[in-house]
């Protein structure tokens, strides 16, 4: 499990940005997590809260938005995997395998390259400041 070290990295980045902007409290932390990344959102949130305990981010809402995988094919197709289609057609119960199995180009049927869905992005934070400017 590497959620703890990733949570540490997120905490450091969030605190640096919050301090830079004169925050007195961090209210929200919003992440975007690719569905193909090997990170568990609940564990990550748990770790973040544990690390943030003594900080101005201790009460922050930790929001994780899941990002579907996106594909690029040599035929020119680019787009995301249709999640609804996966749920309807896939024989696999495992989410990760279902996504990996669905990585053929919907136009020409060839194996497409994964261009997105493995990321872990700190999208934004919402902070409170005392300044009136």
Partner 1 sequence: MLMHVIHMEHDVYKANDKVAEKNKKRLDKHQVFSVNVMGAIGSGKTTLIEEAIRQLKEKYKIAVIAGDVIAEMDSSRFRKLDVPTVPVNTGKECHLDAKLVEKALDEIDLNNTDLLLIENVGNLICPVDFKLGEHLRVVIVSVTEGDDIILKHPMIFKTADLAVINKVDIAHAVDVEAEKMRDDILSLNPKVPVILTSKHDWESLETWISFIELGIKEAQKK
Which positions lie near partner 1, rule CB under 8 A? 1-2, 4-6, 9-10, 13-14, 17-18, 21, 23-24, 27, 36-39, 94, 96-97, 100, 111, 114, 118-132
CB 71 within 8 Å of CB 111:
no
Two tokens, residue 57:
């981010």
* Separation CA 68–CA 74 (nearest Å): 20
Q: Residue 128 CB, nearest distance to partner 1 (Å)?
A: 6
Q: Residue 21 CB, nearest distance to partner 1 (Å)?
A: 6
Q: Residue 126 CB, nearest distance to partner 1 (Å)?
A: 5
Q: Residue 69 CB, nearest distance to partner 1 (Å)?
A: 11
Query: Cβ closer to partner 1: 35 or 49?
Result: 35
Query: Cβ closer to partner 1: 97 or 108?
Result: 97
């Amino acid at each position: 499990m590497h959620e703890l070290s990733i949570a540490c990295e997120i905490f450091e980045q969030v605190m640096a940005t919050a301090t830079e902007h004169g925050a007195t409290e961090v209210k929200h932390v919003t992440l975007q997590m690719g569905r193909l990344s090997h990170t568990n959102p609940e564990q990550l949130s748990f770790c973040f809260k544990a690390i943030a305990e003594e900080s101005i981010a201790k009460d922050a809402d930790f929001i994780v938005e899941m990002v579907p995988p996106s594909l690029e094919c040599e035929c020119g197709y680019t787009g995301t995997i249709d999640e609804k289609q996966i749920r309807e057609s896939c024989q696999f119960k495992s989410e990760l395998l279902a996504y990996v199995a669905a990585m053929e180009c919907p136009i020409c049927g060839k194996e497409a390259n994964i261009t997105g869905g493995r990321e872990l992005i700190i999208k934004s934070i919402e902070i409170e400041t005392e300044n009136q400017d």
